[in-house]
């Protein structure tokens, strides 16, 4: 439980709280042990574009600049990171707000489709107003050549890169891995979509070459996880849990390599394009 708290980074430490708990153990009989546990924080985060509040989601309060940029890119609010001129994090009475200054053309487009959105930890298609908006067109990507050993190597490194999960057991992780399976960076959040948006945000901020790696997530591979990867130009996604049928369909449409049920010594390949023969 709380022993892992000593090893968390400053960013991760800001995303957890400590709570006295009663641990119930059964040996010869049930006994109680008072301890201090680490809990993942979950706070409302508003994304504000040129003074207009557009989205509010529940998120872990770490790497929020990455979350804001990644969300803006994967939701089509921005087409390129350079369209975000400035980004500031503000603490407000009811939560946190990330203020983004974006290109005027993008703001005009945002106003046309502006809607009120609330993201939840197990969120679905947040802010969708009509059925035709539920499944958006997915861009084509080029899947890298990726072998089984790389996927397994990334899985073996995953836990060591998730300090917040080690401390709380309550968050998802999204990792960027090179083509040998070495984890280069990882972001964590109570929401799996948020974790992936944070990862995409940091990749965009640092202009990481996306053809030279793949994403590994600690969650299932849903439609939106596939769509977010494709929207960012990422050609391969591996998930610790299963993929959904729609996720596989969308991976096939985009030409994205999709793997799931990644466990030690075993994983499934749902779709492997010809460009990605490993």
User: Tell me: the pLDDT tens digits for 184-207?
Assistant: 999 999 999 999 999 999 999 999
Predicted confidence at residue 28, as pLDDT, reads: 80
**CA pair distance 202, 265, nearest whole angstrom:** 30
Confidence grade of residue 9 (pLDDT, cut at 50, 70, 90):
low
Shared-domain flag, residues 119 and 173: no
Residue 265, marked binder? yes
154 in the same domain as 258: yes
Does one domain contain both 123 and 69?
Answer: yes
Task: Please list the active-site residues.
Answer: 123
Q: Is 18 annotated as a binding residue?
A: no
| Domains: count for the chain | 3
Alpha-carbon dihedral angle through residues 232, 159, 178, 76, given to the nearest 10 degrees = 0
72 and 178 co-located in one domain = no
pLDDT score of 130:
52
For residue 127, the model assigns a pLDDT of 47
Q: Is 76 annotated as a binding residue?
A: no
Q: Is 70 domain-assigned? A: yes
Same domain? For 33 and 48 the reply is no
Q: Is residue 12 part of a domain?
A: yes
Distance CA 153, CA 136 (A): 33
**Position 51 in a domain:** yes
Same domain for 110 and 158, yes or no, is no
**Packing angle of the helix pair 223-232, 64-74 (nearest 10 deg):** 90
pTM: predicted TM-score of the whole model, two decimal places: 0.89
Q: Does 261 belong to an annotated binding site?
A: yes
Distances (CA, A) of 206 to 34, 61, 142: 45, 21, 20
State whether 75 and 91 are in the same domain.
yes
264 is in an annotated binding site: yes
Q: Is the pLDDT of residue 243 over 50?
A: yes
Is 36 found in the same domain as 48? no
* Residue 91 clears pLDDT 80, i.e. is over it: yes
pLDDT of residue 1: 39
Q: Is residue 98 part of a domain?
A: yes
The CATH number that applies at residue 161 is 3.40.140.10
Lookup: tokens for 165? 């999960």
How many other C-beta atoms are found inside a 10 Å radius of the C-beta of residue 216? 28
| Cα–Cα dist 19/79, whole Å | 42
Residue 139 domain-assigned (yes or no):
no
Range of the domain at 166: 148-276
- For residues 153 and 241, membership in a common domain is answered with yes
Q: Which residue has the higher pLDDT, 225 or 120?
A: 225
Q: Is the dihedral of CA 224, 147, 204, 94 positive or negative?
A: positive
Residue 143 lies in a domain: no
Mean pLDDT for all residues in the chain: 90
The answer on pLDDT for 129 being more than 70 is no
Asked if pLDDT for residue 20 goes beyond 80, the answer is yes
């Amino acid at each position: 439980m709380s022993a892992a708290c000593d090893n968390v980074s400053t960013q991760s430490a800001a995303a957890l709280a400590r709570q006295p708990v009663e641990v119930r153990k059964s040996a010869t009989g049930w006994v109680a042990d008072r301890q201090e546990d680490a809990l993942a924080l979950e706070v409302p985060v508003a994304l504000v574009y040129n003074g207009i509040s557009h989205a509010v989601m529940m998120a872990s309060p770490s790497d929020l600049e990455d979350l804001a940029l990644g969300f803006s890119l994967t939701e089509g609010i921005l087409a390129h990171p350079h369209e975000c001129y400035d980004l500031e994090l503000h603490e407000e009475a009811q939560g946190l707000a990330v203020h983004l200054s974006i290109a005027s053309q993008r703001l005009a487009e945002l106003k046309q489709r502006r809607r009120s959105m609330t993201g939840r930890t197990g969120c679905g298609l947040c802010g969708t107003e009509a059925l035709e908006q539920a499944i958006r067109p997915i861009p084509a990507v080029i899947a890298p050549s990726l072998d089984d050993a790389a996927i397994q190597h990334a899985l073996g490194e995953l836990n060591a890169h998730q300090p917040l999960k080690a401390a709380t057991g309550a968050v998802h992780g999204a990792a960027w891995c090179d083509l040998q399976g070495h984890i280069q960076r990882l972001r964590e959040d109570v929401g799996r979509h948020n974790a992936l948006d944070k990862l995409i945000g940091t990749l965009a901020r640092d202009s990481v070459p996306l053809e030279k790696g793949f994403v590994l997530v600690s969650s299932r591979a849903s439609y939106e996880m596939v769509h977010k990867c494709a929207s960012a130009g990422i050609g391969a996604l591996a998930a610790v849990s299963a993929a959904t049928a729609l996720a596989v369909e969308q991976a096939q449409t985009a030409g994205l390599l999709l793997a799931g049920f990644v466990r030690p010594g075993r994983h499934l390949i749902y779709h492997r394009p010809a460009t990605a023969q490993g």
